[in-house]
């Protein structure tokens, strides 16, 4: 049997059923929305699956959807099976206020810095992270700059002329 998106989706659905909240395949990338409370179970299962072998965490990031009340933050995980050359993207939606999700540092040590960056820019709390603190911004910042409620740049700057930037 070929290890492809159809096999991966069927295997995950058979094992986790109601914890999968939706799926799609934009540009051929299997994308599955999961119950955030089952993240460790699902990722651990994918990691240890004898055929899928999703043993590489390519990326971990977040996206802010301010128009989706109660599920404004999507934490996105890109997993890769090197032997099968198969990629799966998992999405878990959280509320912007008090959004908590389990840390993957127990499965992927490389998740450490990616989770810190996601916390730094979006405010996602990763429960069980060994040292969840800012990694790129100053510790004194009291906000998370990539939330869409904040301006992209300082609006009081006088040294910048937008005519030179196509605006």
pLDDT in tens, 124-144: 999 999 999 999 999 998 888
Q: How confident is the model at residue 29 (pLDDT cuts 50, 70, 90)?
A: very high
Measured CA to CA in angstroms, residue 60 lies from 30, 63, 103, 120, 159 at distances of 16, 11, 11, 13, 36
In whole angstroms, give the CA distance from residue 133 to residue 63.
19
Report which of 95, 99, 90 is spatially closest to residue 60, judged by C-alpha positions.
90
Q: How confident is the model at residue 49 (pLDDT cuts 50, 70, 90)?
A: very high
Q: Say if residue 68's pLDDT is above 90.
A: yes
User: What's the pLDDT at 33?
Assistant: 97
Inter-axis angle of helices 39-48 and 5-16, to 10 degrees? 130
In degrees to the nearest 10, what's the CA dihedral of 74, 97, 119, 58?
-10
The helix (H) or strand (E) run that includes residue 145 is none
**Domain segments of the chain: what residues?**
24-150
Q: How confident is the model at residue 98 (pLDDT cuts 50, 70, 90)?
A: confident
Which fold, 24-150? Beta Polymerase; domain 2 (3.30.460)
How many other β-carbons are positioned within 10 Å of the β-carbon of residue 148?
A: 13
Does the reported pTM lie above 0.85? yes
Share of the chain above pLDDT 70, in %: 92
Q: Which residue has the tokens 């299962």?
A: 45
Q: Say if residue 161's pLDDT is above 60.
A: yes
Higher-confidence residue of 130 and 154: namely 130
Mean of pLDDT over the chain: 92
Which tens digit of pLDDT belongs to each residue from 106-117? Answer: 999 999 999 999
Q: Say if residue 62's pLDDT is above 80.
A: yes
Q: Say if residue 164's pLDDT is above 80.
A: no
Q: How confident is the model at residue 97 (pLDDT cuts 50, 70, 90)?
A: confident
């Amino acid at each position: 049997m070929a290890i492809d998106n159809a096999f991966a989706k069927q295997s995950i659905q058979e094992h986790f059923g109601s914890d999968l909240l939706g799926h799609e395949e934009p540009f051929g990338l299997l994308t599955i929305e999961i119950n955030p409370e089952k993240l460790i179970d699902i990722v651990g299962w994918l990691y240890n699956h004898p055929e899928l072998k999703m043993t590489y965490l390519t990326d971990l990031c977040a996206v802010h959807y301010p128009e989706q009340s109660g599920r404004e933050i999507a934490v996105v995980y890109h997993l890769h099976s090197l032997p099968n050359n198969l990629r799966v993207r998992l999405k878990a939606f959280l509320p912007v206020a008090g959004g908590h999700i389990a840390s993957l540092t127990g499965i992927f040590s490389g998740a450490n810095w990616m989770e810190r960056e996601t916390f730094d820019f979006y405010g996602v709390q990763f429960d069980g992270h060994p040292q969840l603190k800012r990694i790129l911004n100053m510790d004194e910042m009291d906000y998370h700059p990539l939330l869409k409620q904040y301006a992209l740049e300082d609006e009081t700057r006088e040294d910048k002329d937008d005519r030179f930037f196509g605006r």
